[in-house]
Structure 1
């Protein structure tokens, strides 16, 4: 890995791993409203090979991917997507919930559009992209820049969905299982099972088989034709009420985050600068589930969920990391960065400082008193030529890309001219 660029996007995340041959692996894309997506594409236009990895189905990440592919369908050579996990009964509950939302929700909000994108993502990629598409789940792996990366999460089978979420999906199924309901209720349940089966079959093939995607699209079109009748079912208001419960919406959001892709490099022998742990939007429970697969230390750790306090895992304080990436430029729902990150001796690389209580209170970067071991002679970060002179290249090869320019790890410095990088 030659370098890492962490982009400041208005919502979501975008982290780009660059290989020795200038190949890139873009992990998520976010919603680059505050920046210029054309500039982002021009930045990587000259590379020979481009991959994209979506860690979770969030509306910002999906919107960013859609925009990139609409501008250029040949943007990426390979696209990696999260596989839909199944519970111990083999049911992909996130998919089922998305179908219920699509059919019975009365609100066409971001959550609705997010679910529609989840259902249509494969069809969209088949029509709008020439990329090879792969699904990622625990146990799968992929190679980039000569390094093998192992996927630690999510588990494809016997996934530990919460009891509250499982009960909500089951309650909606029960609402349609009465033999006294019109035949459209049973027809929807049948089509739902067929769609989920086709979706899972698609995830099991690498790369995806276009025939499976076409079958999914055909089934979803059949469901769409039933929408008027399904909306008039006596139990339709009951399902809508379940979907609109604040507890249901929150637990669904939590389940989406918990099923985020977590991956790390496969060590060949000893620790190196290739050691990286990418956490997507993982929850503390997700991190606990993969704790036995983690290394004692990493060169780079990506903080989940923009470094928010609710996503802090005790494991981050137990494993060492030279550098921590925090994509906290999410201005839709700003949340303070967990104070535990500030206390770590790691060098933090944050895309936005407005959510950092430390900077707001102290007026200076929390990295100023941290020792950087990438320097020729290890010392405080203020001795880094890239930070001190705002010129040249960073010894750590980690760059924060903002609309104002390229920033160093000292967030209280002015941005660096893009042309000097």
Structure 2
């Protein structure tokens, strides 16, 4: 891995792993501050582009839609999260999405949150080909830039759905199970089972096979034709009421996050700068589930869900990480960043200071907290080597980056650390910048 780039986002997250073989793996695809066109242009010259969606979220789906509208061939390989099954083998998230698609009247097309999990496989196979698409779940692996990556989560079977969510799906099934209802009810339940079976079979093939995608599409289209009859059934209003409950919607959103793909590199021998733990939007319960498979330390830890306090896991305090990535969107209300990250010894790389408790209380970056007494007058030490100017940065970290995006000099009093550059860049709407999260011109002069 040559470098890592964090994109400053309006919404969502986007982390790009750049390989030494001039290829990239884009992990999630939110709405970057530079716009989708700027994102596409930045990586237009690379030889191979991969996309890995860690979870079903509207931000990433809408950005992906815009990219594929401009260039359907932009991504050479796409990894999507598989839909996990409970201990009975039922993919409850799929069932919920089908109920929502059929009985909720307000929809936003293929890339709507509920519809996407049902339609994205066929849509993408039509654009890029089924052979380029792989579903990811626990115990799967993939290769990027000569490194093998192991998927730790979500579990394929016995996924720990919450009781609230399981009950909501079960109650909607019960609404249609009466033998006294018109035949459309039983027909839908049968087609739902066949669709879910076809979807699960689609996820098992590596990569996907077009025949499996076609079979899934067939059942989906048959359900689509039944929608007017299904909405006229007596229990339709009861199902809409279940779907419309705030508790039900919150439970589904939680399951989407809890089923987020968690992966790390396969360590062959000793620790290295390839050691990276990517957490998507994982909930603390998901981190607990994979804790036994984690390494004792990583070079890079990506904080889940924008570094939000609600996504903080005690696991992060038990493993070490030299660098912590926090991608915090700046165009909507966000949950406050977990203050516990400040106590970790690693360097924090933030795309935006919104919601940062340290900045709000101290007025400066959390990466400048120690004093250097070797200078004529004591001054704060800036830990990130990228801040030390072009002469302190390894060439591989700045390749393709304009000199106008590099700092020419440091604030008075900063001392120069020793060692290689971290090769972690934050890409803002105006270009690459360092990991300092306060972004005050008085601290660093940009040329």
Q: Which residue of 2 aligns with 1:408?
A: 434
Find the counterpart in structure 1 of residue 171 from structure 2.
Answer: 171
1:103 — aligned with what? 102
Tell me how far apart the structure 2 counterparts of residues 221 and 277 of structure 1 sit (CA, whole Å): 39
CA contact (8 A) 2:280 2:304 kept: yes
Judge conservation of contact 1:306–1:337 (CA < 8 Å) in 2. Answer: yes
Question: For 1:16-415, what aligned pairs fall within 5 Å after superposition?
Answer: 16-32=16-32, 34-108=33-107, 113-130=112-129, 132-369=132-369, 382=382, 384-389=384-389, 393=393, 395-413=421-439
1:379-413 deviation digits (Å, cap 9, x = unpaired):
97526553144787461000001113222111234
Contact 1:405-1:417 at 8 Å conserved across structures: no
Aligned residues: 411
Tell me, which stretches of 5 or more residues in structure 2 are unaligned?
Answer: 372-378, 398-420
* Matched-pair contact (CA < 8 Å) for 2:61–2:111: no
Deviation at 1:332, TM superposition (A): 2.6
What CA distance in whole angstroms lies between the structure 2 residues aligned with 1:240 and 1:329?
A: 32
For residue 375 of structure 1, what is the aligned residue in structure 2? none
Offset of residue 330 of structure 1: 5.0
* CA shift digits 1:302-332 (9 cap, x unpaired): 0001000100000101100000000111533
In the TM superposition, what whole-angstrom CA distance separates every residue of 1:336-391 from its partner, at most 9, and x where no partner exists?
A: 100001121110001111221211222100011269xxxxxxx9752655314478
1-side partners of 2:55 and 2:106: how far apart? 22
* CA drift at 1:218: 1.6
* Larger Rg, first or second structure (1 or 2): 2
Please, what is the CA RMSD of the aligned residues? Answer: 2.2
Once the two structures are TM-superposed, the CA of residue 417 in structure 1 deviates from its matched residue by 10
Residue 31 of structure 2 aligns to a residue whose secondary structure is: coil
CA distance in 1, matches of 2:154, 2:314: 19
TM-score w.r.t. length of structure 1: 0.93
Compare 399-408 and 152-161 and name the one that shifted more: 399-408
User: Secondary structure in 1 aligned to 2:112?
Assistant: helix
Tell me if the contact between 1:350 and 1:409 (Cα under 8 Å) persists in the aligned partners. Answer: yes
Q: CA deviation at 1:104?
A: 0.9
CA distance in structure 2 between the aligned counterparts of 1:28 and 1:417, rounded to whole angstroms: 31
Alignment-derived partner of residue 15 in structure 1: 15
Alpha-carbon distance in structure 2 between the residues aligned to 1:234 and 1:389: 69
